[in-house]
Structure 1
Amino acid sequence: MKYLAAVVLLACAAAHAESLPTNGTLVVVPAFGEVTHVNDQATAILSVEEIDKDKAAAASRVNQKMKQGLDLLKKADPQASLKTQGYYTYPVYAEETPPQPGQPLQTRKLRVPASWRVGQSVQLVTVNLDNLPKTVAAAQSVLSLNNLRFGLRPETTRQLDEQRIAATYQNLNERINAIARAMGRKVGDAVLDTVDFEGSGNYSGNRVEVTGARVIANATNVRAAEVAEPSFEPGETVLSMRLVGKVRFK
């Protein structure tokens, strides 16, 4: 009898849950979409650094090598965009021996630089990825490759924006259909009240999230006349979008 009574109560509860009215219900539905594209642009940072007791000598060698490096980059990839940056000059001091216990403190002397460190960097932006290993190898005869990353050209990103919006809106429709079935309602009973492509509000996160495959290369300054070509894999970039829709059931 106790078992039978429990079954009856559960059946009543289920019937009550199924008959829960949903007329006029407003449902907030987040949706997501993303598109993937092979990276078609590379940004490389190359630099040169010299250390010398003579500040002028160090600066002179840096200036000469940077000029040689720029000429090599322009010759290897004439269509690349170049921008010099990060010129620095600062002193390097010799390490001072700390006083031993019981040794009297000497009068502090004016510190004199033991040498000078001078350096400069150049940024290269190119879409010629097939020729990139050859370009970098040519410049590495006088410059060091400090950083390399791949991404999408602005033109490519704009072209993919329409696909990203379509994928996100399709996901919204799929989720609305699933919610309607779960609520025991027909999709035709639902009216799309609001579509927020900005993703604003407490229920949403960032509008666009861009994550790309990145390749980082670190290299020391190479003095050889010729450098073997490095190997790079551009990878791909995923462009994602989030929107929030409000659906009201009749």
Structure 2
Amino acid sequence: MSLPKIVLAASLLAATSAYAQSTSGTLVVVPAFAEVVHANDQAVASFNIEEQDKDKAVAASRVNQKMKQGMEIIRREDPQAALKTQGYYTYPVYAEQRPLPNGAVVKPQLTGWRVGQSLEVKTLNLAGLSKTTAAAQKVLALAGLNFGLAPATLRKLDDERIAATYKNLGERIASIAAAMGRNRADATLDTVDFEGSGNYAGQDRAQAAPMAMKSMRMSESASVAEPSFEPGETTLQMNLVGKVRFK
């Protein structure tokens, strides 16, 4: 090797050594990210019933009977579904008042009562959801439907995204070490912060967008065609921040 080449190689070696030496004791903050995707396997449907009559007891009786009938239909079609009644209300209905020319105030005239109740249905039986919904719609109105992940699935996916995020952290540390001219073995993981990135509880995209549906009243004898549903999928993300110190 000629003298100029020897001098150049020695200079590069010295520069590399000096560069590597300058990173000794360096604390590096490393962000990591990962996500897992899973098909939605749970549906939460909201049904309601509302009746109006001049007799409050009559309106309430019809609501109670139809809610009971609707629940029986749903339990028959989907025995494993979890049902929860909620939102029972009773409101007075007044006749529309037109303002008098002299500005006098007319006492509102009670014309009837409006009574209603809601029912929440959680199910994992997505294959039979359309059939169950159509059967229930003969009595109840479908007010809303959300697709998401069952609790057991969420726990399983949480393990997966933690592992995937931690793996990404290791890959980034290796890349940073290579860029700094250091060995991966020279890096010591000092801190792993799963909250420092701002990924606090409730910010994951773990819920699918709700499918809003207009509530419609139907007669008990009406036949309802089965609706079409696409459960879609849910993406769960995770961020973490690791602090790495080089020897």
* Correspondence for 1:228: 225
What's the CA shift string for 1:158-215, capped at 9, x where partnerless? 1222211110011111221222233333322211111123x14xx5432561333345
Alignment of 1:109-148 (within 5 A): 109-148=106-145
What letter matches 1:29 in structure 2?
V
Distance 2:166 2:23 in 1: 24
2:205 is equivalent to residue 210 of structure 1: yes
Gaps (5+ residues) in structure 2?
1-14
- TM-score (normalised: structure 2): 0.84
SS in 2 for 1:210: coil
Contact preservation (8 Å) 2:206, 2:236:
yes
1:19, distance to aligned residue in structure 2 (A): 4.2
2:183 is equivalent to residue 182 of structure 1: no
* Correspondence for 1:86: 87
Contact preservation (8 Å) 2:95, 2:108:
no
1:71, distance to aligned residue in structure 2 (A): 1.0
* Correspondence for 1:41: 42
What letter matches 1:129 in structure 2?
L
Contact preservation (8 Å) 2:83, 2:120:
yes
Q: How many aligned positions are there?
A: 227
1:112, distance to aligned residue in structure 2 (A): 3.0
What letter matches 1:137 in structure 2?
A
Distance 1:25 1:204 in 2: 24
SS in 2 for 1:212: coil
Distance 2:218 2:107 in 1: 36
What percentage of aligned pairs have identical amino acids? 59
What letter matches 1:157 in structure 2?
L
- TM-score (normalised: structure 1): 0.83
Contact preservation (8 Å) 1:204, 1:244:
no
Contact preservation (8 Å) 1:212, 1:236:
no
2:99 is equivalent to residue 98 of structure 1: yes
